Structure 1
Amino acid sequence: MGEGVKVCVTGGSGYIGSYLVKKLLAKGYTVHATLRDLKNDSKVGLLKSLPQSEDKLVLFEADIYNPSHFAPAIQGCDFVFHVATPMTHEPNSQYKDTTEAAVAGSKSIAECCLKAGTVKRLIYTATVVSASPLKENGSGFKDAMDETCWTPLNESFRYVYPPDVPFFKDYAYSKTLSEKHILSYGKDENGGMEVVTLPLGLVGGDTLQSFISGSVAACISLITQDEMASKSLNFLNDLLGKLPLLHIDDACDAHIFCMESPSINGRFLCASSYVSLEEMANHYALNYPEFKVKQKYEDGPKRDIKWTSTKLCDKGFVYKYDAKMILDDCIKSARRMGVL
C-alpha cells in the first residue's frame, strides 16, 4: 500500500478528517481531500502545512449540499473515506433538513465511487449515535451493545434528546439513515464495491485544529460545566446507556486498517472502552484534584449494558488507548488550547 495508491477523504479539514489525512500522507498515499471552501485560508493552510502535502495532497472544493461536486475528487481513487457530514442546515438549499442532505450526499458519493470504476472500497465514518441499545418499545435498554443495535427513530428515542436542542435529533436521524443507506451499496447488493461503516465512539485526544472539537469538549464537560458540551455528554449517556470512548489516533488507524485489509465489508463498531458517567467523573476527581467535578454527575443510574462488539478486533485490529489514556489526553489537549 502507500506509494502509487490514491485515496479520497471527504471533509478533509475536520477534526477526524485532518488527522486521517496526516496519517495517510505519512504512509505515502496520494490524498484527494475535499473542503467546502478552498478560499478558507485557515483550513487550506492546515492541510498544506502537513508533511508530504506538497507532493502527495490535492485539494478539491465540494459540499454535501452539492453532492455532485465530489466526482472529480473521487475520480481515479482506489479507496474513498466519506468523513464529511452536514452539521447545520442551509435553509435555501434543495433539501428540507440535514437528514435529507446527508442521505442524498451519501447516495451521490456512493454512486460516484461506482461510476469511477477504480474504487475498491468505500469507508464511511459513522457514529455510535446510530447504534443505541434502546429497545424499540421504550422499555429500557438491551443487555448488550453491538453491531445489531440501531437507534430506534421512534417514540422511545424522543425521550432521550433535549427538546431545546434540535441538533441532537437531527444529527441522530441524519447519521443513522445515512449509514443504513450507504450499507445498501455493499458488495452483497451490487457485486462490486465493498462498503465499510465505522460507528465511532466519543472521540478524544489531541487535534490538529486550532480549537478543541465538540467531542473533546463533551469529554471534559464534567470539569468545565460548559452547558452545551454537558448536554451532548448527557444525551450520549441517555441514548447509549454508557459512553463508548475512542482515541483520535485509534479512530484514524481503524479507518486505515479497514482500507488496508485484503477484504472487509459491513458494519464495525469502534470504541476501546465503555464507561459510565460515574467512572469518568471518578477518574477526573482522583487524578485531577485541582478541578472540581460536580457531585450530581457522579450519581447516575446503574446500567448493566455490556459492550460486546468484537468484530473489528476479530479482524486483527488492536486498540492502543484505554479510557484513562483517552481522558488524560483530552485534559492535555484542553490545557494546550487554554480551555483548562
Structure 2
Amino acid sequence: MEEEREHGGSGRTVCVTGASGFIGSWLVMTLLQRGYHVRATVRDPDNKSKVSHLLDLPKAGTHLTLWKADLMEEGSFDDPIHGCDGVFHVATPTEFSSKDPENEVIKPTVNGVLNIMRSCSKAKTVKRLIHTSTTGTVVIQPQPQSQPEPDQYDESFWTDINFCKAQKMTGWMYFVGKTMAEKAAWEFAEENGLDLITIQPSIVIGPFITPSKPLSIEMSIALITRNERLYPMLTRARAVHVVDVCNAHIYLLEHPQAKGRYVCSSHCFTIFDLSKSLSQKYPEFNIPTKFESVDESLKPIPASSKKLLDLGFKFKYNSDEYDVGDLCSEAIETCREKGML
C-alpha cells in the first residue's frame, strides 16, 4: 500500500500556498518525492534567500515551479491554481504578537482563505482543497468551575472566539484568525460546491529546511532557550511530527472517502512531561523543572485523531514508540546544524 501511494502523484499537478514556510516546504519536498508536479506560491520568487531551499530540492528542476501570490491580493492565486486538480492552502500569518492584530493577523488569515477559494472556484479544475487549520481552532474554551473538563477534544469542538479576545492569552490573534478563517471556508465551500477538507495539526515539531527557525520549533525548544513567553503554550499541549502532518495532507487529498475536519495530533503532554523527557535526553541544557503557578498534578487533554486513524492513516511518529522529547530531537539537531542553538 505504501509503495502504491509512493507513485500516487505521478502526473498530477497541485498548488501549495505558503510553500516557503515550515510545513509548506516540507510538504513540497514530500509531494516531489511522490511524483507530483508542484506549483508553489511565495510572496517573492526572486528573493533567493527565501526560496533557495525549495529550488535545491530533489526533482525541483523538473517538477517544481514558483509563483508569486499574496494572500491580501484578490485574484493573485488565479494563475497558479488554474489547471491544478488539488490545492493545499498552507499559507497563514503566524504572528503571536502584533500592534494591530485585526489588520495584520486576523483579516489577512480570513481574506487569504477566501481568495484561495475564489481562485479554486474560477479554475474549474480543482477536485479538492486541503486547508491547513490548527488544533488552535478546536481546544480553546472557557472552563466553568462547575463543569468537568472534557476527556478529549475532537472535530466537533470549536474554539471560543470571544473567550480568546477577552483573555488575550499568548497567540490569541492567531487562534481567532484561524478559527474565523476555517468557519468562513466551510461557509464558502457549502455555498459554492467546493470539496473542502480541513486538517487541524497540533504543535508541529521535527526537522526543517527553512532558513529561519519556525515558530512551532521555537515553541518546542522554549525550555532549552528559556523563552518564558512561550511557556503558557506548553502548559498543557499537543504535538505532531512534521512528517506525519505532510503525509496526512497528501493522504486526505488522495483518499476518496475523506470528508470534513480532521484533527492531526499524535502526542499530548504537560510542560512537566516535556521538561522530564528533555532533561533525560539533554542534561547539558539544564532544563527548568519548576514552573510558577502551574499545578504539577495537571493532566494533559488529548486532541483525538481517531477520525483520521479510522480512515486508515497511520502515524509514523506515534506516541507508543516516541515520547514528546523524541519528537523534539530532530528539531534540536537541525537547530544545532544551522547554528541556531
Gap change, CA 1:233 and 1:80, over 3 Å in 2: farther
Unaligned segments of structure 2, at least 5 residues: 1-7
Query: Deviation per CA, 1:240-287, whole angstroms, max 9, x where unpaired?
Result: xx2111111111111111111123121111111111111000001122
Unaligned segments of structure 1, at least 5 residues: 163-167
Alignment match of 1:101 (pick from 105, 108, 113): 108
Structure 1 counterpart SS, 2:9:
coil
- 1:184 maps to 187
Counterpart of 2:233, as a letter, is F
Deviation at 1:143, TM superposition (A): 3.2
Counterpart of 2:253, as a letter, is M
State whether structure 2 residue 3 is matched by structure 1 residue 2.
no
Identity of aligned residues (%): 35
Counterpart of 1:194, as a letter, is D
Gap change, CA 1:298 and 1:328, over 3 Å in 2: farther
Provide the aligned C-alpha RMSD in A: 2.5
- 2:177 maps to 174
Deviation at 1:43, TM superposition (A): 2.2
Compute the TM-score of the two structures, normalised by the length of structure 2.
0.87
Deviation at 1:161, TM superposition (A): 0.5
Distance in structure 2 (CA, Å) of the matches to 1:288 and 1:298 = 22
**Contact 1:133/1:149, CA 8 A, preserved across alignment:** no
Gap change, CA 1:138 and 1:85, over 3 Å in 2: farther
Compute the TM-score of the two structures, normalised by the length of structure 1.
0.88
- 1:117 maps to 124
State whether structure 2 residue 194 is matched by structure 1 residue 193.
yes
Structure 2 counterpart SS, 1:246:
strand
- 2:278 maps to 284
**Contact 1:127/1:201, CA 8 A, preserved across alignment:** yes
- 2:299 maps to 303
- 2:250 maps to 256
Counterpart of 1:72, as a letter, is D
Alignment of 1:69-88 (within 5 A): 69-87=76-94
Distance in structure 1 (CA, Å) of the matches to 2:195 and 2:259 = 5
Query: Deviation per CA, 1:160-213, whole angstroms, max 9, x where unpaired?
Result: 615xxxxx2221111111111112244xx2574311111111111101112321
Counterpart of 1:213, as a letter, is P
Counterpart of 2:205, as a letter, is G
Structure 1 counterpart SS, 2:219:
helix
State whether structure 2 residue 341 is matched by structure 1 residue 316.
no
State whether structure 2 residue 134 is matched by structure 1 residue 127.
yes
**Contact 1:212/1:333, CA 8 A, preserved across alignment:** no
Structure 2 counterpart SS, 1:132:
coil
- 2:5 maps to none
Alignment match of 2:229 (pick from 225, 228, 231): 231
Counterpart of 2:229, as a letter, is K
Gap change, CA 1:185 and 1:264, over 3 Å in 2: farther
Alignment match of 2:237 (pick from 237, 243, 254): 243
